[in-house]
Structure 1
Amino acid sequence: MPDCSTPSILNRLDLKTLRLFAAICEDGTLNGAARRAAIAPSAVSKRLAELERALGCDLLVRDPKGMRLTPAGETLLHHTRRMLASAEQITLELAEHARGVRGFVRVLANLSAIVQFLPEDLQAFLGVQADIRIDLEERPSGGVVAGVEEGAADLGICAGGTDTRSLLAHPYRGDRLVLVVPTGHPLADREAIALAETLDYDHVGLHRESSIYATLRDEARRLGRPLRLRIHVPGFDAICRMAQAGMGLGVVPEHVHALLGPQMQLAAVPLKDPWARRTLNLVVRPGALSPAAALLLAHLRNAP
């Protein structure tokens, strides 16, 4: 009977074995994985058998097309990829420390924060703290919260209405949403407009996980009207480009229009709905931050 105690399992999950397992999954054959690892196929087969025996379950099964993952194998592959990525990141960061880097800060932020505010705020921070490295990744607001909770980042920036669950939240910046339309559009000369007045027109929306799209969708439902969404796009630049081409109305933060709109001959009409004025929040896990992360948090909380 296999020993399934936690220490025994962990002893089998060394990086070499995990790399071999990932190679088998990616290549689909033991021979292909053996060629990639420059070892004999029999050694790969033996290592896989030992791993399955230690875990007490089959990870791969043979079929006419090669090796196929079992449900347990899919679970292990998911965690294997994360562990190998973490091991690679450890190597890179330690090499940076050897070159004099004092600390790393991992940041997750939504698109609004990255486009509008973080370029200047991070530039100002790194101008003073040149020996700190920042790893910035874009995620939708819900993904920011999940990533910080899971420890994938030291701090995050998300939309103010996001459920921050166990995290501590601090105000960061505020923005206002505007409607972007070509300068010749019937709505272009309005001083302000409510979303309800735009629902007879086609819209161009951000991806489905974005907080802006969710707000527009939910508000249209509250009004009892459909949101005539013509297309989803991944970013604000694509919204502006689609609006310029006459594909539909777009909703973006005011500062985004200031950056992109004039050269595309797009007018910005402020939305007068209360939800159009938003807050972006900084989120961190309770407890002590690393010195580098604490410095960045303090800098962003004091941003103008």
Structure 2
Amino acid sequence: MLTSVVSSSNRGRALTLKGVDPETCMIVFKNHWTQVLRILEKHDPGRGGAVSLRFGPIPGDEASAVQNYVEHMLFLLMEEESGQGGAMGTILEFVVVENVMEKLFLWSLRREFTDDMKLEQLRMYKMLVAQAKQPLLHHKPILKPLMMLLSACSSSSTVGPTAPSKSSAAGLTCTVGPSSSAVEAELVSLLHQLCHVLVKDASVLELFFHSSQDQGAANFLLFSLLIPFIHRDGTVGAQARDALTLIMSLSSQNSLVAKHIVENTYFCPVRNVICMV
């Protein structure tokens, strides 16, 4: 859905919103979201009383419309500056209050959650984290769907028809199939990027633990998702090991990380002694 905005992100950054009235940007963003929401709600199984989670393929013109609107919305969000004293900009505040990111993610799950769609969403978050002019990960309505996406794209979260993964926030149950090597590579790349963010901004770390609890992944989803990749060859393995090293380095500064490593992993052979102390 978001391929073009991701592939042209560098070109898009050449366009800025300097001199553009923030109120105008907010009006445009709201108008775009209204159009997107109409399409999302039209294909919401819950509204139609359907038993199945999916109605089938979304008509091409509607899918293209959503793509175009979301492209513009993402650009407006990335370019928005923080308000006075570091307060949220009006667009970011709207995204948080309206739970925009989770609604977009759940809409993807209600369709056929293909590898192409996984790649698009992973790249979307990489772009947002790297290029946004205000911090985004401090806000749970943005962080939570990101963690849901990471879990859905991980091979460790692959489940079959008898063990569907669940989104407790929306009461949605979905079956996630195995991911391709391309999705795994993009997943590890995003995990690596997020670990760098944690090192630079430790205040986000506790939020990651709280979001991980929603996913039921030993209280620290980033750590859990990296483990299957640390013995891989090539770039994927190298990035996974580097990302895990960054997390391990945080254990000397953060008791949550240290406790997780001691109690929930095999990286600390004297964990029982430490716990007794």
TM-score normalised according to structure 2 size: 0.26
Structure with the higher fraction of residues in helix conformation: 2
TM-score normalised according to structure 1 size: 0.24
- More RCO (CA 8 Å, sep 6+): 1
